[in-house]
Amino acid sequence: MVTTYLNADLHCHSVVSDGTLTPEALAARAKANGVELWALTDHDEIGGQQRAAAAASALGLPYLSGVEISVSFAGKTVHIVGLGFDAEDAQLQRGLRATRGGRTQRAMEMSEQLARVGIADAYQGALEFVGNPELISRTHFARFLVERGSCRDTNEVFRKYLTEGKPGYVEHRWAALKDAVTWITQAQGVAVIAHPARYGFSANAEYALFSEFKAHGGRGVEVVTGSHSVAEALRYADTAREFGLAASRGSDFHSPEESRTDLGTLPLLSDALTPVWELVHERIQRPTH
């Protein structure tokens, strides 16, 4: 069955990146919340895919492989979600390994900068929150700063310390847009622009992002996401139609304590859109029993 009226949740994070739940716990939570098609999309990492797919299968939950790749574009970090790819693909695995590569160095630089504003040993502190040593992220620093009482919650940490111009922010060069889209597509997956409203691009830069993404073989955009307001979802539904892109839906759930949007609780996609799962329906891993 392929339809717009599907409680698909194709964006969330486990302890394999910066989520706080295991792939198994996420699968159970998705199932309990009525999700009908699920994907785990850890940042720059597919090490949780087998566990997620196995847990989904045991629960009778259809599954698409997933990842969220960090990309540098027009001076900002853009996220490209990949869905339905072959997780054994060597080029994709190499590309993701290279993308993860600079994270430890960046984390040490963040730690040095934070030390200058009186926050000592942040690297060691953040490591306490890391589930995967290859994937230390700003989120882990945020959790450490909340724990030591520097801020009330992780949003406040990002606002005061971890975003552009703030003391703990370190500029970083991620994957190229063309490379990320190519790795996903050549592995039989579909590439999707994640939460476009989050980037704060000018109209021109956003047009360039969508046009270049399409030219490289990208085919989808997140319309209904935990990162979009209702107005933004409507706006990007129009953008999807203008660019001839399919639409995706995902909570971007990270943690029961931190995430505003739980798995499977967003509004459905409008039936005026082509759901992205139509493009990869043959890649859906369906439970066999």
Closest residue by Cα to residue 195 from 121, 113, 118, 251: 251
Residues from 250 through 279 that contact ligand AMP (CB under 6 A): 254
251 binds, options Mn ion, ligand AMP, none, Cβ within 5 to 8 A by partner type = none
Judged by CB under 6 A, does residue 105 bind ligand AMP?
A: no
Supply 266's token pair: 């967003």
Q: Which residues pair with 77 in a beta bridge?
A: 72
In the bound complex, which residue of the shown chain has the CB atom lying closest to ligand AMP? 137
The region of 84-92, 131-139, 201-209, 232-240 touching ligand AMP under the rule CB under 6 A is 131-139
CA R_g for the chain: 18
Question: Which CB atom, from 178 or from 198, has the smaller least distance to ligand AMP?
Answer: 198
The region of 46-54, 153-161, 175-183, 227-235 touching ligand AMP under the rule CB under 6 A is 153-161
Closest residue by Cα to residue 257 from 161, 147, 163, 127: 147
99: Cβ–Cβ under 8 A, 6 or more apart, which residues? 44, 69, 70, 174, 175, 180
Q: Which of 14, 65, 70, 132 binds ligand AMP (CB under 6 A)?
A: 70
144 binds, options ligand AMP, Mn ion, none, Cβ within 5 to 8 A by partner type = none
Distance between CA atoms of residues 124 and 121, nearest Å: 6
> ∠ CA(277), CA(82), CA(141), 5° rounding?
130
Q: Which of 158, 201, 210, 253 binds ligand AMP (CB under 6 A)?
A: 158
Distance between CA atoms of residues 94 and 234, nearest Å: 36
Which residues of this chain interact with Mn ion, rule CB under 5 A?
18, 68, 79, 194, 252
User: Which amino acid is present at 137?
Assistant: S
Question: Which CB atom, from 166 or from 241, has the smaller least distance to ligand AMP?
Answer: 166
Binding site for ligand AMP (CB under 6 A): 18, 43, 70, 137-139, 154-155, 158, 254
